[in-house]
Amino acid sequence: MNLKNLTELELYFANHFDTVLFPVLADIYQSKGEYDRAKRVCEIGLEHHPHCIDAYYILSQAEMGLGNLSLAEKWMKKVLSHYPSHKSSATRLPMVQEQLERSVATLNSSWKRALAVDPNNQFAKDYLTSKKNKITKKKNTVVNKSSSNKSLKKIKKDLNIENITISPRLATFTLVGVLKGQGLYYQALDILDILAQKGEDKKQIAKERKLIKAEL
């Protein structure tokens, strides 16, 4: 069987719900943006293989694509409870938690873990450095004019989506999928603009823009 052939995988899965290959099919659906199908395949497969870490991660991304951020958080935390060094979960979990407005203590813990798993993670470095800077500023009661101007500039770079401020470091293709799933197409285009400025995959950006404009 060709594991890259969607039709073959679908037919095989339809007749073998207990196959260990179910994450392969789910991942293909996930990559195509068919989050409902990816979720369903994972749910069925996990009934037979409840300890499949890859499936829980794919499920978390499917939930994220559907806009179910709390469930996405739940499944990524489950992955990390069994596999603490799972890089993708460790680095994406705090991004989701920021959008869910989790506590400062929770965010600090998650970003520290992200940095421990991926020492080159710039998002984690930026967040943790920012937190240190805020603590320092609180101790200093004198705020000069130049620092105030810098703060204003930083706020202007943030993107406001339904009263939720999204900073540039949270701009990801996954977030684009979340916004598309909620029908927030213009906001999704704004995130793609940020990704373009960050030098992300040009082909994927172009593909996403084309898909979104087709919905407008």
What is the Cα–Cα distance from 69 to 72, expressed in whole angstroms?
Answer: 5
Alpha carbon distances (Å) from 118 to 63, 78, 195? 24, 19, 21
Of 93, 67, 91, which is closest to residue 164 (Cα–Cα)? 67
| Domain extent for 215 | 150-216
Amino acid 4: pLDDT: 72
Instruction: Flag whether 196 is in a domain.
Output: yes
Domain count, the chain: 1
Angle at the Cα of 189 from the Cα atoms of 214 and 34, rounded to 5 degrees: 60
| Tens-digit pLDDT string for the chain (216 aa) | 666 778 888 898 888 898 888 999 999 998 888 999 999 999 999 999 999 999 999 999 999 989 899 999 999 999 999 999 999 999 999 999 988 989 999 999 999 999 999 999 888 888 888 765 555 445 554 444 444 444 333 323 445 554 444 556 567 777 777 677 667 788 888 888 888 888 888 888 898 888 888 887
Q: Is residue 3 part of a domain?
A: no
* 24 inside domain: no
Query: Has residue 178 been placed in a domain?
Result: yes
Residue 166 maps to a domain: yes
pLDDT at 186: 82
**pLDDT value of residue 70:** 95
Give me the pLDDT at residue 131, please. 63
Q: Give the per-residue pLDDT at 128.
A: 87
Q: Is residue 5 part of a domain?
A: no
pLDDT at 112: 94
In a domain, 23, yes or no: no
